[in-house]
Structure 1
Amino acid sequence: MPLPRIRAAKLMTESPRSVRVDDPIGEAVDVLQTTDFRHLPVVDELGELVGMLSDRDLRALELPYAEDAAAVNAALQKARVPVSMMMSSDVVSVGPDADVTELMELMLDNKIGAVPIVDGEGVLLGIVSYVDVFLGILGGA
C-alpha cells in the first residue's frame, strides 16, 4: 500500500529551537535537557543551517559522579567550548516540499532521527523528527 503524499511543510515543527555555531556547548545541553527535543539545529548569524547537535553527540559530556575538583573543573571547561566543536556539520536537509517517503529514506539511510527543513538559501524553516513522520502517517496529515 503506497504512503499518502505528505509534504515536509505539513509535518515540520516550524521555527524550531536552535543554537548558534558560537554558543557555548553548555547552552545546547541546557536546551536539550529542558525540552523534549533530541535534535538541535545549529545556525550561523544569518539563520542558515550549518550543523546539528543530537543528544548522542553530547553524551561525551556526561560525567560520572566526581568527588575531586579537577574532574569538576574539566567538565566546566568542556561546557564552555563552542557548539561548533561538537556539532555534526555534514547535515542532511530538505526543502518544505519534500515528500514523507523521501524523509523516511533519508532517516533510514543516514541513521538519523530528524531532518531539518530549509529554504532555497539554507535558512532553517523547521524540523521533522521520526515521531512527526510516524504521527503524520497514522493521522493522515
Structure 2
Amino acid sequence: MSATFSSPHDVPHVPAEQEVRYWMRTPAVTINLAAPLSEALAFMREHDVRRLPVVIDTGELRGMITQGDIRGADIMRVAGFDPLDIAQALRHVKVYEVMTNDPMAITPETGLREAAMLMIENKFGGLPVVDDQNRVIGIITESDLFETLVLQLDKAQDNMP
C-alpha cells in the first residue's frame, strides 16, 4: 500500500531541525580554480558526481563547474575532432575559464525547504555548503533532497492505518 497525497500540504512536515547539515555530502569533492578541465572531468567520473565546487588553495569557494559547463567547452567534438585531440585540448583549458563565478551557496543551518526552493527557482542541481569563511564543507544535491522526500513518504506510509 502506498501513501497518496492530494496536495503538497498533505505531505508530512520535515521538522525544522532538518537542516542541510544533516543531509549534505561531506567532505565535498572540490576542484582547484587553476586545474585543467580534464582533471575536473576525471574527478567527476571518479566520484560519480555531476558538479564540483571550485576553490582556491584555502578551500574558499570561487565558482561551480558542472558536466554541462564542460560539455559546452567540448565544441571540438561536435566539429569532428579526434577524441585524443579533444583530451589534449582540455588539458590546456583551466576550470576558471568555464566555471560559474560567484555561485550561490548555503550554510549548514539552511533549512531543507529553503535549499530546495533555491534549487528550484534557480534551476540548480546542487548547492555548495560553506562555513562562515566561505570554505566549502559539503554539498547538497537534488538527489539528497529526493532522499529526504522518500524517507518522509515512507514514514507517512508506516503511520497509515
Give the TM-score, by structure 1 length.
0.88
Q: Which residue of 2 aligns with 1:137?
A: 149
Q: Which residue of 1 aligns with 2:131?
A: 119
Does the 8 Å contact 1:118/1:125 carry over to 2? yes
The one-letter code of the counterpart of 1:128 is: I
Q: Which residue of 2 aligns with 1:4?
A: 14
How much has 1:83 moved relative to structure 2? Answer: 0.7
How much has 1:90 moved relative to structure 2? Answer: 3.0
Which contiguous aligned blocks of 4+ residues in structure 1 show a shift greater than 2 angstroms? Answer: 64-67, 71-75
The one-letter code of the counterpart of 2:135 is: V
Does the 8 Å contact 2:37/2:94 carry over to 1? yes
How much has 1:73 moved relative to structure 2? Answer: 3.8
How much has 1:100 moved relative to structure 2? Answer: 0.6
Q: Which residue of 2 aligns with 1:82?
A: 94
Q: Calculate the aligned-residue CA RMSD, in Å.
A: 2.1
Give the TM-score, by structure 2 length.
0.77
Distance in 2, matches of 1:43 and 1:15, equals: 13
* Greater radius of gyration (CA): 2
Q: 1:25 aligns with which of 37, 40, 47?
A: 37
Q: Which residue of 2 aligns with 1:40?
A: 52
Paired residue total? 138
Distance in 2, matches of 1:50 and 1:133, equals: 24
Secondary structure of the structure 2 residue equivalent to 1:41: strand
Does the 8 Å contact 1:3/1:137 carry over to 2? no
Is residue 107 of structure 1 aligned with residue 126 of structure 2?
A: no
Distance in 2, matches of 1:47 and 1:31, equals: 16
